[in-house]
Chains A and B, each alone.
Chain A
Amino acid sequence: MGGDLGGGNAVIDRARSAATERRASAGTLRVARKRVVAEGVVELTLVSPDGARLPDWAPGAHIDLVVPADGADAGLVRQYSLCGDRWRPAEYRIMVQREADGRGGSVAIHDRVAEGDALGFGGPRNHFRMAPAAEYLFVAGGIGITPLLPMIDQARRLQQPWRLLYLGRSARRLAGLAELAELGGAEDRVAVHAADELGRADLDAWRPADPAVRVFACGPNRLLDAVEAWGAPPGGLAPRVERFTAQVSAGASPSAFEVVAAHSGATATVDAGESVVDALRRVGVDVITSCAQGVCGTCETGVLAGDPDHRDSLLDDAERARGDCMFPCVSRSRAARLVLDL
């Protein structure tokens, strides 16, 4: 398992979209490393272009990554769980499984994204927070292992008992087996079930009866439906699952857009490499910020017209969809004009 892409990089370089080259500062991540970690799975190590700390995250978090779209100017926004080590504050890691019949994001990452590329990003956001428990059962289906790896690391740090059931079509396609062996394989905490060797798994045999055990699961819908059907054990809590999101959206156009402060009518052009806050400051409109990372919520601003391209860590999907507020320290615009309640 593993190994670099080697000669494949030349092909990737030629196919690299102009869009990824133009965006290289605010709200972007540079691909520091790309490697194959299992059959059909690549891992990207992403860093800030200036090497600075990235926004903090916790297990279960994902980032929104703007992936170059074939032939289009605006990229595709795709969600990827963070699977790295948050004690390394200057890098994120994600793992991406190539889905040939998917919606194009994973193919773009596999075929068109190369080391050195800059990709727009938002978040991290967390809809799959790990909660305290006396004991954990993690259930992963294939690439669904990604959010669970940092959870397992956390359980280990807290010296909480845990087990993992890791299901897949074949062991060759399962990422993270080496890390898992290090994390707890020796204590027999990890059960790998490859269907090509063992046939269909008897999932219900894993259903915990002990209310102290909390289940966290990620993987294909069919697996998660079955885990959710377990319900809560008497006196316990229902399993928590994270589904691969079916959200389809486009990222900001890499070309400049116009932002209007409605009260004064002041208008500024936001270039690809600057934030809305920076652009507004140029025309005399100060938006008070604090963290400047979309984390603290200080700069929340009403949106009067336009289509915000949310990059913050704060809003959930429903709040994003409403499109009535945004955090201009990081968030941008998907349309040519954005009117803010300022």
Chain B
Amino acid sequence: MTASTATIGPRTEVPRLDIDPFSDAFLADPFPFHERLREAAPVTYLEPYGVYAVARYAEVHRALTDWQGLQSAAGVGLSNFRKEPPWRPPSVLLEADPPRHDAPRSVLVKLLSPRRLRALEAGWRADAARVVDEMLARGRDFDAVTDLAEVFPLRVFPDAIGLGDSGREHLLPYGDFAFNAFGPRNRLVEEGQAGIGPTMAWIDAQCRRENLAPGGIGQQIWEAADRGEITAEQAPFVVRSLLTAGVDTTVTGIASVLHALADRPEDWRRLRADRSLLPRVFEEAVRLESPVQTFFRTTTQPVELAGVEIPADEKVLMFLGAANRDWRRWHDPHAFDLHRDPSGHVGFGMGLHQCVGQHLARLEAVSVLDALLDRVTALETTGPARRHLNNTLRGFEALPMRLTAA
């Protein structure tokens, strides 16, 4: 795949970097690499894969919003769907452009709007209280990933969609695999490949109308098809989008905000006293940690970006995590700062494809944090955070912590 781009090559002003953003070293500690990518030039060229890269806020923002010049339908991972077949039928949302993208997107925007989600809020808050109470009953020491960040979304999200009770254990591996698959076929993809068959079959089955509970978001997607807002062929793929992108991301988001808040007694006290800060806390954690680290676009035509002309049909890698720590945009960018206004971060993307589930993610996170703040006066770590490596998500394997009950 690199052969064609390597022979044409970028124009000379684009630095060629020998950085592999999907290597274990990069994924385990991306920050020194981000620094090199950001400071080398506004646009760089990554030799190992023959792709262009942007890591500064301004260029990432531009690449995210300019859907006319930088398309998604050729895949938002490394693979160029114009040259290689995708590993699964492409998403009708994430891997689509206008006009095909319009109808599925507008259906989900409506179903996942804050006004619609309000109907779920009371139930989610009660569930969050139960999850935290159950955890407290087991003692002071806990793992913020396996005891909380994974437990809560897996309790509320599948119910909201209307999934059956059996097989929910497939959700996390499916998300993990799908987000790995945006990268190259490296070790992470190979390892996930082994058991993915039954998981994919389960996911596909859940998207069918007869397997979705009445009143759930999944069934409402099918009802939109009855009204002709989307086609019956699109409906299962719209459901699939939620199952792909709705679990691992929110687990990582919740883990990220707990990771950020642990060992910060001042902030914890302030939050206990003033819950209106919660939305800001979550956004700041999403900015700092950027659960979704990268996405690709593909140029539809020669695109001028920061004075560089990128030829048509080239992959452009956007480092959301690096943009969210660009000193050009953020003061003291590596600090978790409750006084900061994190508005405009690109952790949820930006523009036409901006995370359609972002309000759902916020509601999940705020529900958990609120329940925790009601019951806990201090949160401290008891061991190093262990990262879970994924080609796209910056998640955790373990976050050992100790809490002090109120």
Using a CB–CB cutoff of 8 Å, the interface residues on chain A facing chain B are: 53, 56, 58-59, 86-87, 89, 126, 129-133, 154, 157-158, 214, 237, 263, 277, 281, 286-292, 296-298, 300, 314, 319, 325, 342
Complex Cα spacing A126 to B98, Å? 15
Contact B342 A58 (CB under 8 A): no
Tell me, rounded to whole Å, the shortest Cβ–Cβ distance linking A266 to chain B: 13
Contact A288 B341 (CB under 8 A): yes
- Residue-by-residue, is B232-246 near A (CB-CB < 8 Å gives 1, otherwise 0)? 001000000000000
Q: Which residues of B contact A290 (CB under 8 A)?
A: 343-345, 348, 350, 354, 358
| Residue B230 lies at the interface, judged by CB distance under 8 Å to chain A | yes
Number of interchain pairs (Cβ within 8 Å): 80
Q: Which residue of B lies closest to A214 (CB)?
A: B228
- Residue-by-residue, is B272-289 near A (CB-CB < 8 Å gives 1, otherwise 0)? 000010011001000000
Contact B358 A314 (CB under 8 A): no
Taking a contact as CB atoms closer than 8 A, the residue among A133, A288, A291 that contacts B283 in the complex is A288
A-side interface mostly: loop
Contact A291 B352 (CB under 8 A): no
Q: Which residue of B lies closest to A88 (CB)?
A: B68
- Residue-by-residue, is B282-304 near A (CB-CB < 8 Å gives 1, otherwise 0)? 01000000000000000000000
| Residue B130 lies at the interface, judged by CB distance under 8 Å to chain A | no
Q: How many residues belonging to B are interface residues under a CB distance threshold of 8 Å? A: 35
Q: Which residue of A lies closest to B62 (CB)?
A: A53
Closest 4 CB pairs of A and B: A237-B228, A289-B343, A286-B341, A154-B99
Given A126-B106, A319-B115, decide whether A263 and B276 contact each other with a Cβ distance below 8 A: yes
Q: Which residues of B contact A130 (CB under 8 A)?
A: 99, 102-103
B-side interface mostly: loop
| Residue B309 lies at the interface, judged by CB distance under 8 Å to chain A | no
Given A300-B114, A314-B113, decide whether A129 and B103 contact each other with a Cβ distance below 8 A: yes
Given A154-B99, A157-B99, decide whether A292 and B65 contact each other with a Cβ distance below 8 A: no
Given A53-B65, A129-B229, decide whether A298 and B341 contact each other with a Cβ distance below 8 A: no
Contact A288 B102 (CB under 8 A): no
Tell me, rounded to whole Å, the shortest Cβ–Cβ distance linking A330 to chain B: 14
Complex Cα spacing A70 to B229, Å? 41
Complex Cα spacing A297 to B360, Å? 12
| Residue B377 lies at the interface, judged by CB distance under 8 Å to chain A | no
| Residue B329 lies at the interface, judged by CB distance under 8 Å to chain A | no
12 residue pairs of the A-B complex, CB under 8 angstroms, read: A58-B99, A87-B68, A129-B102, A158-B100, A263-B276, A277-B343, A287-B343, A290-B345, A292-B343, A297-B114, A297-B359, A314-B113
- Residue-by-residue, is B94-128 near A (CB-CB < 8 Å gives 1, otherwise 0)? 00001110110010000001110000000000000
| Residue B231 lies at the interface, judged by CB distance under 8 Å to chain A | yes
Given A131-B228, A131-B229, A158-B100, decide whether A56 and B352 contact each other with a Cβ distance below 8 A: yes
Q: Which residues of B contact A287 (CB under 8 A)?
A: 343
Q: Which residues of B contact A133 (CB under 8 A)?
A: 228
| Residue B66 lies at the interface, judged by CB distance under 8 Å to chain A | yes
Q: Which residues of A contact B66 (CB under 8 A)?
A: 53, 89
Complex Cα spacing A277 to B102, Å? 29
Contact A296 B344 (CB under 8 A): no
Complex Cα spacing A53 to B68, Å? 11
| Residue B351 lies at the interface, judged by CB distance under 8 Å to chain A | yes
Q: Which residues of B contact A129 (CB under 8 A)?
A: 102-103, 106, 229
Chain B contacts with A in 334-369, Cβ cutoff 8 A: 341-345, 348, 350-352, 354, 358-359
